[in-house]
Homo-oligomer: A and B are copies of this chain.
Amino acid sequence: MPLLVTGTIGIDTVHTPTAKAEEVSGGSCAYFAAAAAFHHNPVRIVGAVGGDWPNDHAALLESIEGLCLEGLERRSDSKTFAWGGRYFDNMNQRETLFTELGVLEEAPPEVPESYADSRLIFLANSHPSVQMDLLNKFPDRQLAVADTMDLWINIAREELLALFKKIDGLIINDSEAEQLTEISNPITAARAIIDMGPSFVIVKKGEHGAVLVHQDGIAVIPAFPLDQDGVVDPTGAGDSFAGGFMGYIAASGKLDFETMQEGMAWGTVTASFTLGSFGLDGLVSTTQAELKARMSEFRTIARIC
């Protein structure tokens, strides 16, 4: 089941209460793909970068086994998407300092013909019309899952609701689920979103874990518990969770509820490595053995008698 992801490849500047990192390799597509590649091969990227994309960022993505970068367009006269943000003291909230859209203001990247047999599609956060256009290129897909953000809920609600009728699953933050439905209870909010189209919704709650509401059941999972020292930079943790989740499903070849519940656990553990470093470093420096060891630890820590 080849897995395709489209979203941003970005250059991030991240301020935390104790540190600052500039020109960090980031973007929703990059985090998702690096996380998914732990579980599945190939993970196909559709995205674009500008002439300013740093060589070491390229080398980092190229170093990840299982990533297919054929759909990564390099536009020498354009600028790469750039984002700057600052985390507050508790690391759970942040403010955006700047956003330079760059290539995102241009035509969406082409999809290579070799990607035509992709069966799992992840639409990272983007304008819902752009997400819909990409989705329409894959009529034979088996699973389409999307992310979105507050901006599109505000300014492109109609297009978002049209997208909901075409996707199988939505992965969304708790605050966005509430914004979308005006329901603060995440389970009830997820059910309301299912009534809008998707057959399942995952509500991400950051340090509090996630909940899957599916036509066939409910699953809840805590976050992997990290000490203060273990939370260096939360940027990309949600995309890494989605990557681990979808990568696991792609590798298993099954789309049932139990597989998705297992995917949530792998997504949780995969994302915990993103939190430990700035940018993609946490994922890229982690081995399969370390991932499996942490999953084993997580099974003990989150065991129900």
Q: A: which residues have CB within 8 A of B?
A: 89-92, 183-185, 187-188, 191, 205, 208-209, 211, 217-223, 225-229, 231, 261-262, 265-266, 298-305
- Given the known interface contacts A222-B209, A227-B191, the answer about A305 and B265 at a Cβ–Cβ threshold of 8 Å is yes
Q: Contact: B301 with A219, CB < 8 Å?
A: yes
Bound CA span A217–B302, Å: 11
Partner of A222, one of B217, B221, B261: B221
Bound CA span A217–B225, Å: 11
The 7 A-B pairs at the shortest CB distance, nearest first, are namely A262-B305, A208-B208, A90-B184, A185-B228, A188-B228, A220-B222, A188-B227
Interface centre among A91, A185, A217 (most CB of B within 10 A): A185
Q: Contact: A89 with B184, CB < 8 Å?
A: yes
Q: Contact: A302 with B305, CB < 8 Å?
A: no
Residue in B closest to A210 when the chains form the complex, CB atoms: B222
Bound CA span A91–B187, Å: 14
- Given the known interface contacts A184-B89, A208-B205, the answer about A305 and B261 at a Cβ–Cβ threshold of 8 Å is yes
Q: Contact: B219 with A302, CB < 8 Å?
A: yes
Bound CA span A217–B303, Å: 12
Interface centre among A217, A228, A262, A304 (most CB of B within 10 A): A304
Apart from the given pairs A220-B223, A221-B302, A261-B305, 14 other A-B contacts in the complex at a CB distance below 8 Å? A90-B184, A184-B228, A185-B226, A185-B227, A187-B227, A191-B227, A205-B208, A218-B301, A219-B303, A220-B301, A221-B222, A221-B304, A261-B303, A262-B305
Partner of A220, one of B183, B225, B228, B231: B225
Q: Can you list 11 contacts pairing A with B, beta carbon distance less than 8 Å?
A: A185-B226, A185-B228, A187-B228, A188-B229, A191-B227, A220-B222, A221-B304, A222-B222, A265-B304, A266-B305, A299-B305
- List of B residues within 8 angstroms of A266 by Cβ: 305
Bound CA span A302–B223, Å: 12
Nearest chain B CB to A205 CB, angstrom units: 7
- List of B residues within 8 angstroms of A223 by Cβ: 220
Q: Contact: B225 with A218, CB < 8 Å?
A: yes
Interface centre among A92, A187, A299, A303 (most CB of B within 10 A): A303
- List of B residues within 8 angstroms of A90 by Cβ: 184-185
Nearest chain B CB to A282 CB, angstrom units: 17
Bound CA span A218–B191, Å: 32
Partner of A226, one of B187, B219, B228: B187
Nearest chain B CB to A223 CB, angstrom units: 8
Bound CA span A208–B231, Å: 19
Bound CA span A219–B297, Å: 10
- List of B residues within 8 angstroms of A226 by Cβ: 185, 187
Bound CA span A262–B299, Å: 14
- List of B residues within 8 angstroms of A211 by Cβ: 222, 225
